[in-house]
C-alpha cells in the first residue's frame, strides 16, 4: 500500500500523540514555530505532544524524542502535500509522574482515541491503567521496564523491554569476556532501573556468574564513592549498573578516580554517546546494550541518520530513532484500522509486522516490542559495535588459553620480576602472578590453612628478553577426585614460540608429560610444621616470618624452583603420570 494511501486513511483518525519526554521550552517553541517547517494548509490529524519543558532530562531525552517525531511527521506530511497533514500541540508534564497523569487525563477529556507516551517507565506504570480505564490506546516510544505493560490490550511500547534487552547483552559479553565474579549497582528509586537490574541479575545467574555484591543509590545522587569503594574491595571482574542517564557519567568518573582499573569494565544498559562524552576518558571500555545502532543496516536506517543530521545538525540517538519508528508504525496502524475507534487501532497494532529502522518489528502478547538488540562498547570516546576485540589488553584473553582464565589479568596481581638464581625453571624473563578472588580471600584470612576449591593462580612469564609473553603457568584447586593425589591441584603450563602464535598446553595435566613434576616441585613448599602452604609458594598471612621467609619472590629457599619447566619434569617424576 502506498504512503499516500496510508495518509489518506490516517486522516480518518483524530489522534492525539502524547510524548512524555523531555525538552527545553525554547527548543520546543523552535520546533513549533520554525520557518523551516512547511505550512500545512489543512490539518487532518492533531497530535498532542505532552512533554516536561524543564528539568535535567530535557536535553538528554526530550529533545531527541521530539526530533524523532518531528522528522517522521514531516516525511508523512511531505509525501503528498495535497493531503491535509499532521499538526502537533503541546503541554508540559513537569517531568513527573503526577504531571504525566494530569496530561493523560486532560487529553482523555479532550476525546482523543490514542495517546503516545509516556517517556519513562515510572510514568507508564501509572498512566497506562488510566488509558485502559478510559478505553483509549497508549503507545510509548521509549519506556522499557519489563512487566508494566499488562494493564490492558491497548497499551504498546516501541522500546525493547529490559527482559528482552539485558539477557542477550549478558550472554554476548560473558561469552566474549568470561567474567565469573561481578558486582551490580542500581537506582532503587526508579522503576526502570530496579526492574532492569532484576533482569540483569537473572541473566547473570543463568550464566553461572557469581554476584559478589550489590549497591543501591537514589536518583539525583551526586556522590557514589561509598558504594564504589565497597565494590572495589570485592575485586569484581566487571561491574553492572542500571540507572538513568543523569547518574551514568558521574559513576564512571568516580569509579576511575577511586582506582577501579580500566581492566574492569562497566556494563551499563542504554548508555549512549552523550553519557560517554560527559564521562570523558572514564567511559573508555564501557559496554552498553541498546535497542538501536547507528551502524545498523536495517531498512531505512542510514537514510534516517542522514535526514536527522541534515535537520538537526547532530547524530541521532536511540530515543530519536525509536520515536521516529513509532510515528511510522502508528501511521501504518491507522491505515490498517481504517477507523478512529481505539480498539480497531489497538487491533491493528497488535497484529502489525513491519520493517523499520529498528529492524523487523512486531509486538508480543503484552504489546511490548520484538526486534533484535545491539551491544556497543566505548572506543575512543564513541560507541562502536562490540565483538570482544576492542577490549583493553588487560581484559583480552591470549589465544589458546582456556575460557575459564578470561579476564585473569583483572585479578589481584603480584609483579615478581626476574627469577632468583635458583628459580629459573621457566626461563629468565619477568613474571607476574595473578590470584582470583577465592585465593585472595584465603591470603587475607589469618586462620586459613588451605585454599578452597575454585582457587586459581596464573603466572605470566616473559621470554628471556622480556619482549613478549612466552609462558602461562596455571594452578587450579579442584574437588575432582582425579587430582586427589595432588591435593586437588591441577597444573598446566601453556607456551608459544612468538607473540603472534597461539598458546598450546606444553606440560602438566592433559599433556604427554603429565603434572607430577609440577606437583613434585610444589610439594617442596609444604612443611607439616607450618600449615597454610597448600603447595603454593605465595605465603598466607601470619606465616611469612614464622618459617624463614619462603615466598614467591624467593621461591628457591629450599633449593626448588617455583614452577617446573617442561624439560625438567622428569627430575621430579614420581612414576605416576596419570595426574
**pLDDT tens, residue by residue, 449-462:** 788 888 889 999 99
Instruction: Give per-residue pLDDT as tens, 540-568.
Output: 444 443 333 333 333 333 333 333 333 33
Higher-confidence residue of 237 and 513: namely 237
Q: Which segments within 68-123 are labelled E, that is strand?
A: 85-91, 114-115
Q: Which residue pairs from 315-318 have beta carbons closer than 8 angstroms and sit at least 24 positions apart in sequence?
A: 315/273, 316/64, 316/67, 316/68, 317/64, 317/272, 317/273, 317/274, 318/159, 318/270, 318/272, 318/290, 318/291, 318/292
Which residue, 366, 347, 302, is CA-closest to 140? 366
Rounded Cα distance, 174 and 445, in Å: 30
Q: Alpha carbon 520 to chain centroid distance?
A: 44
pLDDT above 50 for 10: no
Rounded Cα distance, 182 and 211, in Å: 5
Domains observed in the chain: 3-160+294-363 (3.40.50.2300), 163-290+377-382 (3.40.50.2300), 403-572 (3.50.70)
Instruction: Give per-residue pLDDT as tens, 158-183.
Output: 999 999 999 999 999 998 888 999 99
Confidence of residue 396 (pLDDT cuts 50, 70, 90): low
Q: DSSP string spanning 110-126?
A: TT-SEE---SSHHHHHH
The three cell numbers of residue 357 are 529502522
The three cell numbers of residue 249 are 557519567
Which helix (H) or strand (E) element contains residue 137? Answer: strand 137-140
Confidence of residue 515 (pLDDT cuts 50, 70, 90): confident
Higher-confidence residue of 58 and 160: namely 160
Residue the block writes with cell 491535509: 84
Confidence of residue 536 (pLDDT cuts 50, 70, 90): confident
Phi, psi (5° rounding) for residue 183?
-125, 155
Q: Which residues contact 286 (CB under 8 A, 6 or more apart)?
A: 252, 265, 266, 267, 268, 271, 276, 279, 377, 378
Confidence (pLDDT) at 395: 56
pLDDT above 50 for 575: no
Buried b (16+ CB within 10 A) or exposed e, 449-470: ebbeeebbbbbbbbbeeeeebb
Buried b (16+ CB within 10 A) or exposed e, 28-44: beebeeeeeeeeeeeeb
Confidence (pLDDT) at 420: 54
Confidence of residue 85 (pLDDT cuts 50, 70, 90): confident
- Look up the pTM and report it: 0.70
Confidence of residue 418 (pLDDT cuts 50, 70, 90): low
Confidence (pLDDT) at 528: 59
Report the relative pairing of strands 456-462 and 431-435 from DSSP bridges: antiparallel
Higher-confidence residue of 470 and 415: namely 470
Q: Computed over its alpha carbons, how large is the radius of gyration of the chain?
A: 30
| Cα dihedral 549→552→558→560 (10° resolution) | 180
Percent of the chain residues topping a pLDDT of 90: 46
The three cell numbers of residue 505 are 598446553
DSSP symbol at 240: E
Mean pLDDT of 406-419: 69
Amino acid at each position: 500500500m502506498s504512503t499516500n494511501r496510508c495518509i489518506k486513511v490516517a486522516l480518518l483518525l483524530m489522534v492525539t500523540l502524547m510524548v512524555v519526554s523531555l525538552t527545553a521550552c525554547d527548543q520546543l517553541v523552535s520546533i513549533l514555530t520554525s520557518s523551516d517547517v512547511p505550512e500545512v494548509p489543512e490539518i487532518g490529524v492533531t497530535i498532542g505532544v505532552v512533554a516536561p519543558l524543564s528539568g535535567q532530562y530535557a536535553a538528554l531525552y526530550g529533545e531527541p524524542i521530539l526530533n524523532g517525531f518531528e522528522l517522521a511527521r514531516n516525511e508523512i506530511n511531505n509525501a503528498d502535500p495535497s493531503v491535509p497533514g499532521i499538526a502537533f500541540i503541546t503541554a508540559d508534564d513537569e517531568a513527573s509522574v503526577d504531571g504525566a497523569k494530569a496530561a493523560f487525563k486532560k487529553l482523555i477529556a479532550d476525546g482523543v482515541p490514542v495517546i503516545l507516551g509516556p517517556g519513562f517507565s515510572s510514568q507508564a506504570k501509572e498512566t497506562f491503567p488510566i488509558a485502559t480505564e478510559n478505553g483509549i490506546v497508549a503507545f510509548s516510544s521509549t519506556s522499557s521496564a519489563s512487566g508494566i505493560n499488562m494493564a490492558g490490550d491497548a497499551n504498546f511500547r516501541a522500546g525493547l523491554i529490559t527482559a528482552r534487552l539485558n539477557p542477550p547483552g549478558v550472554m554476548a559479553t560473558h561469552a566474549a569476556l568470561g567474567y565469573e565474579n561481578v558486582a551490580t549497582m542500581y537506582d532503587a528509586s526508579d522503576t526502570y532501573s530496579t526492574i532492569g537490574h532484576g533482569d540483569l541479575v537473572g541473566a547473570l545467574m543463568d550464566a553461572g556468574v557469581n554476584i559478589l555484591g550489590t549497591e543501591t543509590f537514589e536518583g539525583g545522587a551526586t556522590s557514589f564513592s561509598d558504594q564504589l569503594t565497597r565494590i572495589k574491595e570485592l575485586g569484581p571482574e566487571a561491574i553492572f549498573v542500571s540507572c538513568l542517564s543523569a547518574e551514568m557519567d558521574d559513576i564512571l568518573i568516580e569509579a576511575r578516580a577511586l582506582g577501579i582499573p580500566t581492566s574492569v569494565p562497566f556494563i551499563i544498559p542504554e548508555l549512549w554517546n552523550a553519557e560517554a562524552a560527559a564521562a570523558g576518558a572514564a567511559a573508555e571500555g564501557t559496554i552498553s546494550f541498546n535497542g538501536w545502532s547507528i551502524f545498523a543496516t536495517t531498512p531505512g536506517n542510514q537514510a534516517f541518520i542522514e535526514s536527522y543530521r541534515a535537520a538537526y545538525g547532530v547524530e541521532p540517538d536511540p530515543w530519536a530513532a525509536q520515536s521516529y519508528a513509532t510515528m511510522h508504525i502508528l501511521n501504518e496502524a491507522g491505515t490498517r484500522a481504517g477507523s478512529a475507534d481505539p480498539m480497531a487501532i489497538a487491533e491493528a497494532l497488535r497484529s502489525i509486522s513491519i520493517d523499520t529502522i529498528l529492524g523487523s518489528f512486531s509486538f508480543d502478547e503484552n504489546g511490548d516490542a520484538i526486534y533484535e538488540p545491539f551491544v556497543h562498547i566505548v572506543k575512543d570516546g564513541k560507541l562502536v559495535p562490540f565483538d570482544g576485540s576492542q577490549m583493553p589488553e588487560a581484559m583480552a584473553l591470549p589465544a589458546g588459553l582456556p575460557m575459564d582464565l578470561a579476564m585473569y589479568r583483572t585479578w589481584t596481581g603480584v609483579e615478581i620480576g626476574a627469577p632468583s638464581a635458583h628459580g629459573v625453571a621457566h626461563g629468565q624473563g619477568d613474571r607476574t602472578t595473578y590470584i582470583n578472588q577465592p585465593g585472595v580471600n584465603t591470603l587475607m584470612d589469618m586462620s586459613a590453612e588451605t585454599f578452597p576449591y575454585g582457587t586459581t593462580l596464573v603466572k605470566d612469564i616473559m621470554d628471556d628478553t622480556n619482549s613478549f609473553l612466552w609462558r602461562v603457568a596455571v594452578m587450579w584447586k579442584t574437588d575432582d577426585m582425579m587430582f586427589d593425589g595432588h591435593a586437588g591441584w591441577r597444573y598446566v603450563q601453556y607456551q608459544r614460540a612468538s607473540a603472534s602464535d597461539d598458546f598450546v598446553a606444553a606440560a602438566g595435566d592433559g599433556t604427554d608429560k603429565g603434572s607430577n613434576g609440577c606437583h613434585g616441585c610444589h610439594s617442596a613448599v609444604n612443611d607439616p610444621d607450618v600449615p597454610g602452604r597448600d603447595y603454593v609458594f605465595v605465603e598466607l598471612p601470619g606465616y611469612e616470618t614464622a618459617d624463614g621467609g619462603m615466598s614467591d619472590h624467593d621461591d628457591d629457599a629450599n633449593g626448588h624452583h617455583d614452577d617446573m619447566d617442561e624439560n625438567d619434569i622428569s627430575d621430579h617424576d614420581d612414576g605416576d603420570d596419570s595426574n
